[in-house]
Amino acid sequence: MKISIYFMGLIASLLCVTSCSADNNDKEWRALDNKNTVLLTLPHGKVIIELAPQFSPKHVAQFKGLVKQGFYDGITFNRVIDGFVAQAGPKEDSEKDKSVPLVGMESHWSTPATWSFTKVQDKDFYAAQTGFKDSFAVAFEPASKAESTGKAWLTHCPGVLAMARQNEADSASSHFYFVIGQAPRYLDGIMTIFGRVVYGMQHIQAIQRTAAIEGEYAVDSREHTPIVKMEMMADVPKEQQIIIEVENTDSPAFAERIEKRRHRTHEFFYQKPLPVLDVCQIPLRSRLVK
């Protein structure tokens, strides 16, 4: 037992030499920044979203601006496809819709040689490497030559929040979607992901589907799930705030958990699974502080 714990610790330290940045990343849990946390109230429950200004600053700025205006209050989820996405936005081509400026694609970023993340898997189906950075699932293409830079992007795991768009790359405005099914990773790099659900994903899953199966009655738009209220957590009165901490994916504890998941030792696994991990099949933990 002692050996095994020592061994796991060793793996975690080794991983961290190459993959974890140094500052304050030893802690297993991380507080959310209320200024980049959204409280979404649905008729059937509350949902908390962590925004990612470090990856998609323009989209986060646009979205926060709209949230603060109350833009989304009363808007409905008007394109909800089981196993795919739950999408909301103002009525297409309405004055409200057209009032919002377009925002340019933020599909990936360049990574200098010093960039680091917690690697989950090499040779993923869609990327050279996958892993986590700041609790977001990322894909990574290392630099091909010493003098060049690498490339990283957020990946479409269940629970991510992304901006919808028209056919043109830089045509996002206010319509957004949550991924509610098997990761549609073919959208990676051509849509801007800018947040993720950290609490209440079951309420996102329960949003009324709008696309029925062929032959079934059409779902009346009056049955579409509305957004009761969307607000920045920092603007919610203190006593009504919901304070969440999330798993710090840059910590040695997380790297250890990944390795345990890869090499399962529980006797339930009477045949061991292949030691591969789908980055979208690793649930990240959250905990309620208040």
Tell me the site size for a second copy, rule CB under 8 A: 52
Residue 282: closest CA among 152, 127, 131, 117? 131
Q: Is residue 110 involved in binding a second copy (CB under 8 A)? A: no
Choice between 66 and 183, CB closer to a second copy: 183
Single out the residue of 61, 143, 206, 253 in contact with a second copy (rule: CB under 8 A): 206
Q: What is the dihedral of CA 98, 47, 280, 17, to 10 degrees?
A: 110
Single out the residue of 50, 124, 231, 250 in contact with a second copy (rule: CB under 8 A): 124
How open is the CA angle 141-147-151, to the nearest 5 degrees? 20
Single out the residue of 26, 181, 228, 263 in contact with a second copy (rule: CB under 8 A): 181
Stretch that binds a second copy, among 4-12, 61-69, 143-151, 279-287 (CB under 8 A): 279-287
- Shortest Å, Cβ 287 to a second copy: 4
Single out the residue of 65, 182, 223, 228 in contact with a second copy (rule: CB under 8 A): 182
Tokens standing for 70? 């109350």
Q: For 8, which DSSP code?
A: H
Q: Is residue 196 involved in binding a second copy (CB under 8 A)? A: no
- Shortest Å, Cβ 286 to a second copy: 5
- Using the CB atoms, write b or e for 133-151: b if 16+ within 10 Å: bbbbbbbbeeeeeeeeebb
Residue 132: closest CA among 251, 249, 281, 245? 249
Give 271: exposed, middle or buried? Use CB within 10 Å, 0-12, 13-18, 19+: exposed
Provide the mask over 40-79, with x wherever binding to a second copy is found by CB under 8 A and - wherever it is not.
----------------------------------------
